[in-house]
Structure 1
């Protein structure tokens, strides 16, 4: 694939994700001030000293935004990877074994999906110890239900194909069939779905932080920054709008890349079918 084959919309998404990831990785080197350092008065306007102004405690908003990118991306990415590991493993086992195992896992998944995700998360986080790892685990388990549903549908379509039946007739084990026959043929739609779930994890984490059950202060994350500075909107202070715009921009960038991957996957599949 050549660079000129990538559409402008996808380039916008790639650049946006790259800039955000770069700021997150090199946050201590590019941030003007420390993550928790109070450097001025509360809600100071944008200036040459504070490019985006200060927050409700007098901390540099640009520095908090950069450090918040690190926290938001790390937690969202960890939750997405874990949710896919859980969802894909269980869905492929269900599709490959079928019978009682498939019915049991599917009904349990339906039960969890019947409860609104946000309410379920708020209840769990309210009773469990507040830590980043608990937050990641709760997000991953709840999101894995969506991954399970998609993974099972894809795996069922693949598992009835001739090469999978041939593997069963050869006496191959279920684990071998899952990782050597089903998974390689399901990678394209699953990678696109991973992008969508990653964008959802960013929005979900920001929502939880805004409600006070996500990343706990004084650690910076974009949803928490919106919560901390929301009262400034009354006084025409844009401190809450900047992290909100960052959340929206990153979600749009991820979706632009995912849309391109979906179109590319569809075109490649169409080309193979025509051939």
Structure 2
């Protein structure tokens, strides 16, 4: 049986003891809470013009003013929600659809497997960012459209992972035993196969969150993400890059938060992987 099925309490105990898991979870949680609760503590409206262009730090603006006089601190507090929810939504959509198609490829007939694999190879031939830019430039920059587009870019990798893991699992003795005992296909799928796939898929989810925040920030920087005057960390970098030497906080503050979120999710995913490997060794 899977790590999570047979050693659930042991697995979570190992997770808690893993230093990388604690560090990655703490950093990720801090950034997420900052993004979600930030608007409640913002002293100014995100779109209010309250200062001079590239104004320096003063008593009314902890991080100074941006390229047209917005309070940088207020826009920073407002700007995390979009990138966080879009990253999480794109990653989960890719995980659900990719896992389902990967399972279908592994368990279905040969022609279905070949078709899904062929389609996956075609999409993986395109670099993710180029594919997303192509779709967004043609269809628009609505937030949900961007989320779906980013998830489409991630789905092929999830399909290959899920298919590979599922092909290995269906050959295991406990699956063959369940078939011999007469359990239904749905029972075998949900009680024997899926639990064994959770660990690698969850690790990949953490990696996708890192990819998603980088891609969404890049889209906003290139002008294909959240549209101004809305506050967004990636958009803030693009808007204020011309004044980097005059007012660096307008660029450095969102860069730091994006980097921390990417670092936290990446370290968390790696820590979960290490914990899973230790359980398997035992």
Question: With structure 2 as the length reference, what TM-score do the two structures score?
Answer: 0.89
Question: Could you tell me which of 66, 69, 73 is aligned with 2:80?
Answer: 69
Inter-partner Cα distance in structure 2 for 1:33 and 1:184: 47
Structure 1 residues not aligned, in runs of 5+: none
Inter-partner Cα distance in structure 2 for 1:216 and 1:173: 50
Number of the residue aligned with 1:37: 48
Task: Kindly indicate whether residue 122 of structure 2 is the aligned counterpart of residue 111 of structure 1.
Answer: yes
Inter-partner Cα distance in structure 1 for 2:47 and 2:219: 21
Question: Could you tell me which of 126, 130, 150 is aligned with 2:137?
Answer: 126
Inter-partner Cα distance in structure 1 for 2:168 and 2:24: 31
**Mapping of 1:57-206 within 5 angstroms?**
57-169=68-180, 174-206=185-217
Q: 1:106 to 1:4 in 2, by over 3 A?
A: closer
Task: Kindly indicate whether residue 17 of structure 2 is the aligned counterpart of residue 5 of structure 1.
Answer: yes
Q: 1:6 to 1:32 in 2, by over 3 A?
A: farther
Number of the residue aligned with 2:265: 254
Inter-partner Cα distance in structure 2 for 1:187 and 1:227: 38
Q: 1:104 to 1:29 in 2, by over 3 A?
A: same
Question: With structure 1 as the length reference, what TM-score do the two structures score?
Answer: 0.91
Number of the residue aligned with 1:240: 251
Structure 2 residues not aligned, in runs of 5+: 1-12
Number of the residue aligned with 2:33: 22
Q: How many residues align?
A: 270
Residues 223-245 of structure 1 show CA distances to partners (whole Å, capped at 9, x for unaligned) of 11111111112546342222112
Q: 1:213 to 1:3 in 2, by over 3 A?
A: closer
Inter-partner Cα distance in structure 1 for 2:15 and 2:142: 42
Residues 204-257 of structure 1 show CA distances to partners (whole Å, capped at 9, x for unaligned) of 100111111111112221111111111112546342222112211211111222
Give yes or no for contact 1:35–1:220 (8 Å, CA) kept in 2: yes
Higher relative contact order (CA 8 A, sep 6+): 2
